[in-house]
Structure 1
């Protein structure tokens, strides 16, 4: 069950000028993995075009630094720690979802690719009219310009063609660049001469390079393979944009790109050998200027790319470097854009359409992160401050000014005790609203 209080976001209109919505979610893509987000070698012309024709957000956060709870945040507008039953095992229960709300308001809804939303994948689940849960393919099945996720994009394109009269909502949740990194040769070719210059990367990435080197990995080869995988995501984005142009749908289609969490850690254990395999040596995703990655409560774990394009509505070529936005804002913001009323139990997200449309958004409530176990560490982002506490016994609270110190290099807890006390009080009040116990299905 979910401990809740009702929140209503109401938007009403008789005129149906609602946009089509295409939501693309990458898997384990780091904040710094795109050209538009500062990667020195990435080839991402289509995503860079999306940023040039839309707005790029610098303070966007996933709801969790882990895949499964992150997706629950997008779907429900609820912090994942509120779910007593792990959503990957038990699904989202009776919590309202963005797809159900849009479906009930007349949207044709489709989901293609990775799921992670419980065992029921039948069409109609969460109001999704078409569900095709495709698994990523290995390079053995790929020839020419085919990525691990091409089949999911094929299905999404057919859905868009079929429902071109709209309005439609389609989410494409790929598997790239999640482990195992294994791009087709066509995506590797542009990086044949790429050589890593250590000066191009942050201190955190230098530590990651050192770990890969200690495993016997080749940094240059690993970087080429990782960039090839990211390049394949960009290729698929290009297919979607081209199809929207071909069908004359671009002007009234909101296209959004994000990642579910930060980059995967290098050195993942090989599943069949008990050793660090080649795939683990190729996990060279970058959190950009931040510290940490997937699974971490530091900025690199949850701060991810977020690009919004809607021609004539969302300002082109804009970079929002002030608004603090989150995956839990997805549901209430789309409710506003789609002109529907959405009632959701304990809606943690906020309607941030003002930021999307060129203004600024000031949060009225903090963002929180906690994994689904009772004594898990907790992090809070409120205004310019980020506090992390809990974890190993006697671990002191860590306070960072993530505006002036995005890499979280200087713990300011001793210097600003009043700020620490305020944020700890907010954490305590929030934690008291969470389940006292969490359930997961036994792992085999």
Structure 2
């Protein structure tokens, strides 16, 4: 498979433009699989499931039909949610795409894998265009790539179980092989170069990869991370027409991009159905960070790099027909849980360093009352010292959320929110509940204290 011949022209232009209900939650797994595991060809030995990981990009947590949006059309993701264990209160640990994606692929917090920012240090006054084409930028990105190579990744770990793996779409850490993928589209440029054609112009690389994996009798892992609904917001007119009269044009374009992304998810799910693979494939979904569209222009508000839910929150879905009972879950979940969930499902042990939980282990999920994360500078100050790039740390304990700023933050003092009463985080209650602030500060320090 050589996707570069199909999509290099597209990539160049793009780069320039920049889970039926169950009785209760005691066990997320449904009845045990048949002896042959549904994909073992009747050998009597269960075969590991295929894994498809879908990651949307710059996607607001409420902007789905199944999350209650009154306008945006997401029929395929709605279907996936109805067939999944659906965590409505999912979070990414950091609201920038590069560290967020690195956390998904490693199951580690950014301060563990040390990829905290989107870009390496940039000299003051140096224009972006000059910086991105400089040796300084290349050396910085190489240092970030080496950080990823220093820790286990899902593709490398799954290879021990016989998996072949495919990278498509968004990928920051050099050539796809640097992440342990056996095949891929990205060769090493910022964002993902030729990989960015996936979804927007083709799904053929995934179709070909799955066909090849089946012919080899190998289980597969697909990383489907299209740069959608991320800008440039260039949806087909046939989708934009659904929204033109319902919102200002920038908002309409963003909503149409979500519907376009949803269509591609439908194509992927239909492929699994058509090939008879749905029963033998775990499909997981998450967004890499949030997005809030500004009605008055093309920008965003309280979104990327933000410690608020608009930047951090995402639904997280896990579908495994016949193995995982579909239901909506109220418990907290995180993107760092995806790696241990996948590894446990295929019969591998998560590494000791992975702080997440298996989302299919209901006791483990219920036993975790609090989650934590941190937000960092877009452009790193020090590639080897996560604390040097730290803007805010945050924690959620039940419905309470505390944000602790550093001198790099735009915030001047801690902010405390009751997410149940104030999901938009508009009323800072830190002054009214100082004891709660100190209690949660201690929890966050116990999770990660950058001064220790």
1:195 aligned residue (246, 256, 260): 246
Question: How far apart are 1:368 and its partner, in Å?
Answer: 2.1
CA RMSD of aligned residues (A): 2.9
User: What does 1:400-419 correspond to in 2, within 5 Å?
Assistant: 400-419=417-436
SS of structure 1 residue aligned to 2:438:
helix
Return the alpha-carbon distance in structure 2 between the equivalents of residues 394 and 106 of structure 1: 48
Conserved 8 A contact 2:235-2:256: yes
Residue 352 of structure 1 aligns with which residue? 359
Higher mean alpha-carbon deviation, 167-176 vs 32-41, is at 32-41
Conserved 8 A contact 1:153-1:172: no
Conserved 8 A contact 1:181-1:283: no
Question: How far apart are 1:80 and its partner, in Å?
Answer: 0.7
Return the alpha-carbon distance in structure 2 between the equivalents of residues 283 and 148 of structure 1: 24
Q: Structure 1 pair 129/393, CA: closer, same or farther in 2 (3 Å)?
A: closer
Return the alpha-carbon distance in structure 2 between the equivalents of residues 31 and 148 of structure 1: 22
Conserved 8 A contact 1:352-1:361: no
1:423 aligned residue (440, 446, 452): 440
TM-score by length of 1: 0.74
Question: How far apart are 1:107 and its partner, in Å?
Answer: 1.3
1:104 aligns with 2:154: no
User: What does 1:341-420 correspond to in 2, within 5 Å?
Assistant: 341-344=349-352, 346-355=353-362, 361-363=366-368, 366-371=371-376, 372-374=386-388, 375-391=390-406, 392=409, 395-420=412-437
2:328 aligned residue (313, 319, 338): 319
The runs of 5 or more residues in structure 2 that have no matched partner are 1-36, 38-43, 119-140, 187-191, 377-385
Return the alpha-carbon distance in structure 2 between the equivalents of residues 326 and 50 of structure 1: 19
User: What does 1:243-262 correspond to in 2, within 5 Å?
Assistant: 243-262=271-290
Deviations 1:118-154 (A, max 9, x none): 22x153x33210011264899xxxxxxxx87244532
1:333 aligned residue (334, 341, 354): 341
The runs of 5 or more residues in structure 1 that have no matched partner are 1-12, 139-146, 197-218, 268-279, 285-290, 437-444
1:225 aligns with 2:253: yes
Conserved 8 A contact 2:374-2:391: no
Return the alpha-carbon distance in structure 2 between the equivalents of residues 330 and 319 of structure 1: 17
1:78 aligns with 2:83: no
Deviations 1:197-252 (A, max 9, x none): xxxxxxxxxxxxxxxxxxxxxx1x22322222111111111111111111100111
1:155 aligns with 2:160: no
Conserved 8 A contact 1:72-1:80: yes
Return the alpha-carbon distance in structure 2 between the equivalents of residues 137 and 256 of structure 1: 20
Return the alpha-carbon distance in structure 1 between the equivalents of residues 323 and 346 of structure 2: 14
Question: How far apart are 1:360 and its partner, in Å?
Answer: 5.4
Q: Structure 1 pair 190/394, CA: closer, same or farther in 2 (3 Å)?
A: closer
TM-score by length of 2: 0.73
Q: Structure 1 pair 136/130, CA: closer, same or farther in 2 (3 Å)?
A: closer
Higher mean alpha-carbon deviation, 299-308 vs 414-423, is at 414-423
Q: Structure 1 pair 394/105, CA: closer, same or farther in 2 (3 Å)?
A: closer
